[in-house]
C-alpha cells in the first residue's frame, strides 16, 4: 500500500503530522507532495521541507489519498489538478481519507452523497449524506474525521482500512492507546 498526501500552506499540523506518523508507524509507505515546490507551512508556522514537487507526481503509484484539514482546504479546493486527483481516486474506488475541513471538499464534489460522514461541525453543509457527530467515520471508500482532536482515531481507522484490524490494534498497543 502506498498513500499520497498533498499539502499546501495553512495545513493543520496535528492532522497532517499525526496521521502521517501513525500511518508510517504502521508500516505504510506515504509520500508527501506540496503545491508550493518542496515545502509547506502549517497554520501555526510549522514548515515541512523536502516535500515532493507536485509536478513530479505519478498518480498510478498510489492506493489511497490523505487530505488533512486546516485553512489549506480553500486553496486545495480551488486547484483543479487536486480536484481531478480526488475524482480519479474515487472513480477507481481507492481510499480517500479527509479530516476536519478536508471532507467539505469531498462534499462539494458530491462524493458524500448517500454516505455517512463527519467533518468540522460548523462546516457541515447538506452534502446529501448522513452527518455523524463522531471522531471518525468510514463509508465505502471514504474515511472522514471531525477535527484535530480526532486525529488519532481517524488515522487508526485509515490504518485499519489499509491493513487490518489486528495490525491497527498492534500499533495502538505500541503507543499505549488504551493506557489509563
Q: How far apart are CA 172 and CA 168, in angstroms?
A: 6
| Per-residue pLDDT tens digits for 73-92 | 999 999 999 999 999 999 99
Nearest-angstrom CA–CA distance, 24 and 10: 22
For residue 81, the tally of other CB atoms under 10 A from its CB is 12
Grid-cell match 477535527, residue found: 147
Q: What is the pLDDT of residues 31-74, one digit of tens each?
A: 999 998 899 999 999 999 999 999 999 999 999 999 999 999 99
Pairwise CA distance, residues 42 & 91, whole Å: 30
Residue 179 reports pLDDT greater than 90: no
- Is residue 179 in a domain? no
pLDDT above 80: residue 180: no
Assigned domain for 33 exists: yes
**DSSP string covering 22-64:** HHHHTT-EEEEEESSTT-EE-TTS-EE-SPEEGGG--GGG-SE
Domain assignment present for 180: no
For residues 26 and 177, is the Cβ–Cβ distance under 8 A?
Answer: no
Q: Which residues neighbour 52 within 8 Å (Cβ) at sequence distance 6 or greater?
A: 31, 32, 33, 34, 38
What's the number of domains the chain is made of? 1
Give the C-alpha separation, 51 to 57, whole Å: 11
**Domain extent at residue 164:** 2-174
Let me know if residue 109 belongs to a domain. Answer: yes
pLDDT tens per residue across span 146-174: 999 999 999 999 999 999 999 999 999 99
Any domain includes 159: yes
**Does 123 reside within a domain?**
yes
76 part of a folded domain: yes
In a domain, 56, yes or no: yes
Q: Confirm if 136 and 143 have CB atoms less than 8 A apart.
A: yes
CATH number, position 140:
3.40.50.880
SS3 3: strand
Mean pLDDT of the chain, nearest integer: 97
Within 10 angstroms of residue 178's Cβ, the number of other Cβ atoms is: 8
Amino acid at each position: 500500500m502506498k498513500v499520497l498526501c498533498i499539502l499546501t500552506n495553512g495545513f493543520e499540523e496535528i492532522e497532517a503530522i499525526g496521521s502521517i506518523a501513525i500511518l508510517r508507524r504502521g508500516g505504510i509507505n506515504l509520500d508527501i507532495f506540496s503545491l508550493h515546490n518542496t515545502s509547506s507551512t502549517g497554520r501555526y508556522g510549522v514548515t515541512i521541507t523536502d516535500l515532493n514537487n507536485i509536478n513530479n507526481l505519478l498518480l498510478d503509484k498510489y492506493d489511497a489519498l490523505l487530505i488533512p484539514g486546516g485553512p489549506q482546504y480553500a486553496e486545495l479546493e480551488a486547484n483543479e489538478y487536486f480536484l481531478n486527483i480526488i475524482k480519479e481516486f474515487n472513480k477507481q474506488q481507492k481510499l480517500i481519507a479527509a479530516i476536519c475541513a478536508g471532507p467539505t471538499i469531498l462534499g462539494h464534489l458530491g462524493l458524500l452523497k448517500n454516505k455517512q460522514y463527519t467533518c468540522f461541525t460548523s462546516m457541515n453543509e447538506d452534502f446529501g449524506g448522513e452527518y455523524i457527530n463522531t471522531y471518525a467515520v468510514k463509508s465505502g471508500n471514504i474515511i472522514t474525521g471531525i477535527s484535530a482532536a480526532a486525529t488519532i482515531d481517524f488515522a487508526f481507522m485509515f490504518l485499519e482500512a489499509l491493513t487490518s484490524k489486528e495490525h491497527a490494534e498492534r500499533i495502538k498497543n505500541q503507543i499505549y492507546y488504551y493506557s489509563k
